[in-house]
C-alpha cells in the first residue's frame, strides 16, 4: 500500500485532496465527514417514516390486506436500483428543492441525505416490523385491560420490548447508507471540501472512488483503495454492532 507508506496516520486527519502532478497530497477526512454527515442526516429523515411504516404493518393494521400491500410496496422500494434513485433525485427531487428555494443548485448534503433516506427506509422497516410483531400479546392485553389507549400501549409496552430490534434495524440501515454510491454521487455536488452546513456541497468516500477511479493511477489510485478499505472497516463495524444487538435480543 503506497498511500499508507506515504501518508501514514495523517491520511485519516488530513482534509486535503490534491491530485495535481508534483504536488500530490491525499487525505480522507473530508470524505469521512461527508459520508457520516449524509448518512446520519438520512437516518434522521428516515426515522419517522420507517417507524410509522413498521407500526402500520406490525401493529395497527397487522395481518390485514392493507398491511401486506404496504409491506410489498416497501420491499419494492428496496428493489429499486441505486442508479434509478440517483436519476430520480437528479431530475425530480433536485429541481423541486431548487423551486422551493432551499438551495440555489439543488446539490448538496441535504438532497443526498433525502434520497438516501428513501433508500434505507425498507431496511429500517423490515426488521423493526418483526420485532414489533414479536411483542407478546399478553403484555399488550394486560395494558389494554388497565384502560390504556393504543398510543400508551405502543409507548409503554411495545417500544420497551421491541427496543433492541428497532435499534438494530436502524443501525443496519445506517450501514447501508454509508456504502451507497451512485445516488449520492449524482446529488452531493462532488466538491472536495468539508461540508459546512445542510445545503453545502461535499463528497463521500464511495462517490470519490466512483468519480476518480477511472483516471487515477499511482499514488492517487492507492489512496482511493485506502479509502475503500476505510469504508469497509467502518461499515463492517457498524454492521457488527447491529448484529451484536440482534444476538443479544435473541
Residues engaged in binding another protein (CB under 8 A): 48-53, 55-56, 60, 70, 72-77, 79-85, 87-88, 90-92, 118, 121, 125, 147, 149-152, 154, 172, 175-176, 178-182, 186, 206, 209-210, 213-214, 224-225, 228, 231-232, 235-236, 238-240, 243
Q: What is the Cα–Cα distance from 122 to 134, expressed in whole angstroms?
A: 19
Nearer to another protein, 95 or 136 (CB): 95
Nearer to another protein, 15 or 61 (CB): 61
Query: Measured from the CB of residue 249, what is the shortest distance to another protein in angstroms?
Result: 15
Task: Answer left, alpha or beta for residue 63, where phi above 0 means left and psi between -120 and 50 means alpha.
Answer: left
Nearer to another protein, 200 or 222 (CB): 222
Nearer to another protein, 77 or 133 (CB): 77
Query: Measured from the CB of residue 196, what is the shortest distance to another protein in angstroms?
Result: 26
166, three cell numbers:
428497532
DSSP 154-207: IIIIIHHHHHHHHHHHHHHHHHHHHH--HHHHHHS----S---STT-----HHH
Nearer to another protein, 197 or 218 (CB): 218
Query: Measured from the CB of residue 197, what is the shortest distance to another protein in angstroms?
Result: 25
Nearer to another protein, 72 or 196 (CB): 72
Query: Measured from the CB of residue 22, what is the shortest distance to another protein in angstroms?
Result: 26
Query: Measured from the CB of residue 27, what is the shortest distance to another protein in angstroms?
Result: 19
Query: Measured from the CB of residue 122, what is the shortest distance to another protein in angstroms?
Result: 9
Nearer to another protein, 16 or 232 (CB): 232
Q: Quick one: 13 exposed, middle or buried, by C-beta within 10 A (0-12, 13-18, 19+)?
A: exposed
Query: Measured from the CB of residue 226, what is the shortest distance to another protein in angstroms?
Result: 10
Amino acid at each position: 500500500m503506497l498511500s499508507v507508506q506515504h501518508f501514514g496516520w495523517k491520511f485519516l486527519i488530513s482534509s486535503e485532496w490534491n491530485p495535481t502532478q508534483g504536488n500530490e497530497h491525499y487525505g480522507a477526512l473530508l470524505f469521512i465527514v461527508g459520508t457520516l454527515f449524509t448518512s446520519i442526516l438520512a437516518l434522521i429523515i428516515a426515522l419517522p417514516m420507517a417507524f410509522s411504516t413498521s407500526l402500520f404493518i406490525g401493529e395497527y393494521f397487522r395481518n390485514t390486506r392493507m398491511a401486506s400491500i404496504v409491506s410489498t410496496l416497501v420491499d419494492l422500494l428496496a428493489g429499486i436500483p441505486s442508479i434509478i434513485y440517483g436519476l430520480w433525485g437528479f431530475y425530480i427531487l433536485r429541481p423541486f428543492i431548487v423551486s422551493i428555494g432551499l438551495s440555489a443548485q439543488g446539490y448538496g448534503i441535504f438532497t443526498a441525505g433525502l434520497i438516501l433516506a428513501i433508500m434505507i427506509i425498507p431496511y429500517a422497516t423490515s426488521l423493526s416490523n418483526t420485532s414489533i410483531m414479536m411483542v407478546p400479546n399478553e403484555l399488550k392485553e394486560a395494558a389494554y385491560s388497565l384502560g390504556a389507549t393504543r398510543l400508551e400501549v405502543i409507548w409503554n409496552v411495545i417500544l420497551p420490548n421491541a427496543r433492541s430490534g428497532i435499534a438494530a434495524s436502524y443501525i443496519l440501515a445506517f450501514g447501508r447508507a454509508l456504502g451507497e454510491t451512485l445516488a449520492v454521487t449524482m446529488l452531493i455536488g462532488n466538491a472536495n471540501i468539508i461540508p459546512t452546513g445542510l445545503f453545502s456541497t461535499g463528497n463521500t468516500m464511495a462517490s470519490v472512488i466512483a468519480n476518480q477511479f477511472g483516471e487515477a493511477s499511482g499514488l492517487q489510485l492507492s489512496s482511493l483503495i485506502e479509502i475503500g478499505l476505510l469504508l469497509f472497516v467502518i461499515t463492517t463495524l457498524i454492521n457488527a454492532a447491529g448484529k451484536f444487538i440482534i444476538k443479544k435480543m435473541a
